[in-house]
Copies of this chain bind each other. A is one copy, B any other.
Amino acid sequence: MNRDIGADRWKIKIAYDGTNFHGWQRQNEFRTVQGEIENAILPLSHGRELVPVYGSGRTDAGVHAHGQIAHFDLKREITPVKLYRAINGNLRKNDVKVMSAEKVDSQFDARRSAVSKEYRYRIWNAEIMEPLERLTHTHVSKPIDIDAMRTASAYFIGTHDFAAFSANPLREIESTVRTVNFIDIISTPPRLEIRVNGNGFLYKMVRSIAGFLISVGTGREKPEAVTEIMNSRIRTARVESAQPQGLTLWQVNY
């Protein structure tokens, strides 16, 4: 007999290797992170009903997460440690894990409560892609001018309309204005990592910024072009989305 208890709201941190997922969002036909987590929580739920799990945002197929955050409500008395261990015990594969769990106020919302997010975009800049790094880095074989890339990155900092650096920007949301707090470019050859922190991101915004920075770094575009393209508010072929496997949702801040 289950006791009739109220639901607690839980915040969990999830890490995953996106290689073998069709992204975050549950889809009936495909393996997704949200689907796997919801399936793993199901046996813990009151009456074994599906417990919807809400993420801080979606990630596309192939995109990884070090610290994706999600929330859900569970009618069950359980400690944080027992909860994340139980979910991990129910996950069938090792490419997704719940790293921690904490009980939060019922007003907490993984997406709406987030004040900023950090994504990291990894590039392998050498003639030949090192096999062991291929699932977490994008290969750029041409030499990269990192100074040019850093100059370009400065144009993205601040509050701007990022419509030209996103995909389908007007389909789901009203405003395409976002604030980028910082972009750090860390070079440890042949690795290059672009760290982007912002208050929110449009669909494919980080991959569009990374793709354009790669175009600047390899000499196809000038750093100053960022402003011109941004002001156009129109996505064109000049902005390419960098490949998904280089991208990791690193951290969500509340």
Q: Mark A residues whose CB is within 8 Å of B.
A: 15-17, 64, 66, 84, 88, 94-99, 128-132, 134, 136, 248
> From DSSP, what is the main secondary structure of chain A's interface residues?
mixed
Determine whether the beta carbon of A134 is less than 8 Å from that of B94.
Answer: yes
Look across to chain B and name the residue whose beta carbon is closest to the beta carbon of A133: B17
A95 to B132, CA, bound (A): 7
Shortest CB-to-CB span from A186 to chain B, Å, is 16
A130 to B66, CA, bound (A): 8
Look across to chain B and name the residue whose beta carbon is closest to the beta carbon of A84: B128
Among candidates B15, B64, B129, B136, residue contacting A94 with C-beta atoms closer than 8 Å:
B129
Residues of B within 8 A of A248 (CB): 132
Determine whether the beta carbon of B97 is less than 8 Å from that of A15.
Answer: no
Determine whether the beta carbon of B129 is less than 8 Å from that of A97.
Answer: yes
Determine whether the beta carbon of A95 is less than 8 Å from that of B134.
Answer: yes
A102 to B30, CA, bound (A): 46
Determine whether the beta carbon of B64 is less than 8 Å from that of A132.
Answer: yes
Shortest CB-to-CB span from A95 to chain B, Å, is 5
Look across to chain B and name the residue whose beta carbon is closest to the beta carbon of A88: B128
- For A16, A84, A128, A134, the residue with the greatest tally of chain B CB atoms inside 10 Å of its CB is A128
Look across to chain B and name the residue whose beta carbon is closest to the beta carbon of A130: B15
Residues of B within 8 A of A94 (CB): 129, 131, 134
Shortest CB-to-CB span from A119 to chain B, Å, is 14
A134 to B248, CA, bound (A): 16
A88 to B248, CA, bound (A): 28
A129 to B132, CA, bound (A): 18
A-B contact pairs, 12 of them (CB 8 A): A16-B132, A66-B130, A84-B128, A94-B129, A94-B131, A94-B134, A96-B131, A97-B128, A97-B129, A98-B128, A99-B128, A132-B248
